[in-house]
Amino acid sequence: MPFDGIAIRAMVEELNSMLLEARIDKIHQPEKDELVLTTRHPRRGTHRLLISANARWSRMHVTEQRKTNPSTPPSFCMLLRKYLEGGKIKSISQVEMERIVHIEIEALDEFREWKSKVLICEFMGRHSNIILINPDTRIILDGIKRYGSDLSSYREVLPGKEYLDPPSQDKLNPLDLDYKALVNRLWQDSNKTLASALFTACTGISPFLARQVCSLTGLNPELPVAECGDYEFALVYRKIKSLIKEIKEGPSQACVIFKDKHPVEFCPYQPADDNFRSFSSFNQACDFYFTSKLDYLRVESMKTNLSRNIKAMLDKLYKKQFFQSSDLSRAQENEKYRLWGELITAYSHEFKKGDTLARVENFYDGEMLNIELDPRYTPMQNAQKYFKVYNKSRKAIKHLENLMAGNQEEIDYLESVLLAIKQAESREEIDEIVEELENEKYIKGQSKKRSRTSPSVPRKFISSDDLEILVGRNNRQNDLLSMKMAERSDLWLHTKNSPGTHVIIKLPRQIKSIHDMPDRSLEEAALLAAHFSKAAESEKVEVDYTFRSNVKKPGGARPGMVIYDQYWTLVVNPQEDRLQEILSREVKNE
């Protein structure tokens, strides 16, 4: 959910219990629009308060994440250090139900006198800001984002200017909400849905919260206001009041909502959705949500950029493949010159120098052929000329076939890398792929400059027969899995003629023959091999399987490339419903 009034109310209540009277030890500005205040309290310990004025991710919460700080602190950070470092947090308050928080800090000034300063945190989308003011005069000392009259006709955020509150949106305040006033305001938007009208009517209520309020009362958020009566309005009114009361009495129930294993929303109450995870504090929920969300978006951005580069390389290889195929076709057409040379040699006695055409019978199929002759040469010289063209074409064919084989090998490799990028789930996996591409000289080496992360491990699943199934995540991990981790007696699987991952079934010692292999486990491993391959969208996928002892890696082969023999083939459908049940049996690595 956006960092709306209800979320801010819950956060302020919790921060007051954690940070009140805490001393500010350090102030950092890791991003241009983000602050981290390290606080210390003799009883409550040390905390890092993150305050962000990012247009998309504006928020404040205690965080466990540590970020790299710039070597030269920005000017706003230096100003805060001058006025606030060593000071005590005296109060943290929300302005009614607005998305504005005032942090009052008392610190010693240059005359060694205790003076109050107020850090105003405005969480309003692209208008978000962090502003330090003198509370006695309301004069702005500075803001993390400065702007003058050229950007805002209402107010300026510049040192020396008077601080003006953001303009009011003329909405109802849920803290002193009156039932009749709410009904009247909702009726003004009778052409809207109930959730949309509720968002328009009350300050501090985001579209997500408006939909949650409706769902938690059993109402359809899309219900038109015109179809609502006292019953529906009373349910909504009581729910808003109860949420505020629960948050005020605290501690609020902190939850993060998931969709497809990814966090999508957070809230300080139990949501109407079924797929959510509870946290012991709202700060923990926010920290988990934003860390996970931003890490996910960062990984997706890295995947997009890396995929774009790989696709550009593949486009060049596809283009090269097209031209090589054209050259090979032309070279193969020259096969006829061998036949022409043989026929002219066989019938040379029938022609003489100066002839321009030889009409002869093809002794292979009995048809008559017309062969052009160069009148400057004898028939045998013409035959030698055609043999020379044929021999040159034969060498060209062999050379082109070698070039095309190398080009196809490069295409297969980059397609497997592209598949690994698509399936990557973490920064560690992307780093491994980048390092692999650096070693293969596809991108410039930056491994020494980039901070090392712990290596990823293969995916692990448990089959219906309690057998362990290991699935590689990228080419280098495929090599490690197949060549190092797997025993020679284990079963190895891979999709036929399609880029994909290596899959290993760890077999117990009593299984010594393929006939002893449980069919269910074999099918489940084959489904996983098909799912984690380029052919995942197909309905029929051929999967080869053999014992690991039959798999070999040729010298000089690219990462993930192996050869195998004595194999069997199984056809599976990765669109089967039971695949989801198999995927749910993944063993997560802690």
**Residue pLDDT tens, the chain, 590 long:** 578 999 999 999 999 999 999 999 999 999 999 999 999 999 999 999 999 999 999 999 999 988 889 989 999 999 999 999 999 999 999 998 999 999 999 998 887 888 999 999 999 988 999 999 999 999 999 999 998 887 777 899 999 999 999 988 889 999 999 999 999 999 999 999 999 999 999 998 999 999 999 999 999 999 999 999 999 999 999 999 999 988 888 777 899 999 888 899 999 998 988 889 999 999 999 999 999 999 888 999 999 999 999 999 999 999 999 999 988 888 887 778 888 888 888 888 888 898 888 888 888 788 888 888 889 999 899 889 888 888 888 888 888 889 999 999 999 999 999 999 999 988 889 999 999 999 888 988 654 445 455 677 899 999 999 999 999 999 989 999 999 999 999 999 999 989 999 999 999 988 878 888 899 999 999 999 999 999 999 999 999 999 999 999 998 889 999 999 999 999 999 998 889 899 989 987 65
Q: What single-letter DSSP state applies at residue 472? A: -
Contact 257/202 with Cβ under 8 angstroms? no
Model confidence, pTM: 0.76
114, 84 contact by CB (below 8 A): no
Coil, helix or strand at residue 126: helix
Tokens read off for 273:
């959705």
Res 366: pLDDT: 80
- Return left, alpha or beta for 368; rule: phi > 0 is left, psi -120 to 50 is alpha, else beta: beta
Which runs of E-coded beta strand occur in 405-535? 459-462, 468-471, 491-495, 503-506
Report which of 201, 194, 164, 200 is spatially closest to residue 180, judged by C-alpha positions.
201
- Which residues are paired to 541 by β-bridges? 572
Q: How far apart (Å, rounded) are the C-alpha atoms in residues 385 and 382?
A: 5
Whether 103 contacts 118, CB under 8 Å: yes
Distance separating alpha carbons of residues 394 and 307, to the nearest angstrom: 39
316-333 per-residue burial string, b: 16 or more CB within 10 A, e: under 16: ebeeebeebeebbeebee
Q: How many CA atoms lie within 13 A of 260 on its CB side?
A: 3
Distances 6 to 99, 102, 199, 266, 269 between C-alpha atoms, Å:
9, 16, 12, 12, 10
pLDDT of residue 511: 82
Cis ω before 251 (30° cut-off from 0): yes
Strands 491-495, 541-547: pairing is antiparallel
Enter the tokens of residue 546.
Answer: 């053999």
Residues in the chain: 590
With tokens 């696709």, the residue in question is 311
Contact 248, 242 (CB under 8 A): no
